Structure 1
Amino acid sequence: MSSTQWKPNTTVAAIIERDGRFLMVREQTDDGIRLNQPAGHLEHGETLLQAVVREAREETAYDFTPQALVGIYLADKAGSDITYLRFAFSGDVGTHDPAQQLDDGILGAEWLSADEIMASVELWRSPLVGRCLQDYLAGQRASLALIHHHLPD
């Protein structure tokens, strides 16, 4: 038995729709340019809601207010022993700061239709891109009241 304890990587993602289009990011990865929802890792001392607001802002320069939990997803990264635990949120988009520099690796943010996203499967950062979008389009929403954070003051 290994003495190393396995832990999944906790991530958050924002499903942001405006006028029938979805805010997506193009990012440079080790696998080339990929398409993803604004997403990233939960940081120490941060709530899930704080993390998704921060990640959306850092990757798109848009303010994001989470309104619902779309789903919780467990996915292994192909060809590795890495597992991601993704919490996907839908919500409202706010103001945009075009002068804000985006996170390292983010090439840009763009508004795409669901059809454009679904037709770009070869560019998805992971299969979760499509699954989260499909769940959102199917109307899957859970109350944020399901999420409890017990962080020290």
Structure 2
Amino acid sequence: MPHRWKPNVTVAALIERDGRFLLVEEETTDGLKLNNPAGHLDPGESPVAACAREVLEETAHDFVPTALIGVYLNRFTKTRTGDDLTYMRFAFAGTLGTHHGWRSLDAGIVRTLWLTPDEIRACPERHRSPLLLQCLEDYLAGQRFPVSLIHTDPSVTAQGQ
């Protein structure tokens, strides 16, 4: 059977407060990079639940996704290995909740930062992905879709199946 291409599914949060956006600075094989709070969809979870989990793990904040900003594809070649990867990102806006200062941040996350759109635009070489800026621009343009566009069948989250 030939190898079947499968993109990596990720989620990301666009979180704005007072004209600034919450980003994470993370260690990568290419050095310190900036990203939205983001990560991979895990087995047994919906994209909405994955986004809330990733924000908590990477920023120690509760987060409730309330709108889908967009669905994005990005192709990436790993610098060290030459692996050719494609990512499908579901980007969400939402409501930032309680900060749990006692929580440690996910492995590789150095710190969180609040940056203005101009500060983000000024350092594209520090972006982990070009999707960081594309999602930001779509958010700033007012692009919002109901999260109900994403249907997760109960078979995905059913235990023991």
**What amino acid does structure 1 have at the position aligned with 2:74?**
A
- 2:17 is matched with which residue? 18
From 109, 113, 130, the equivalent of 1:106 is 109
How far apart, CA to CA, are the structure 1 residues paired with 2:105 and 2:3? 35
1:1-153 residue pairs with structure 2 within 5 A? 3-78=2-77, 80-152=83-155, 153=158
Cα RMSD after superposing both structures:
1.1
The answer for unaligned runs of 5 or more in structure 2 is none
Q: Deviations over 1:96-115 (max 9, x none)?
A: 01121000000011111111
How far apart, CA to CA, are the structure 2 residues paired with 1:97 and 1:31? 30
Q: Deviations over 1:43-95 (max 9, x none)?
A: 00010011000000000001111110001001100354210000000011111
**What amino acid does structure 1 have at the position aligned with 2:95?**
D
Q: CA deviation at 1:141?
A: 0.4
Normalization by structure 1: what TM-score? 0.96
Q: CA deviation at 1:151?
A: 3.1
**What amino acid does structure 1 have at the position aligned with 2:55?**
A
**What amino acid does structure 2 have at the position aligned with 1:149?**
T
**What amino acid does structure 2 have at the position aligned with 1:18?**
R
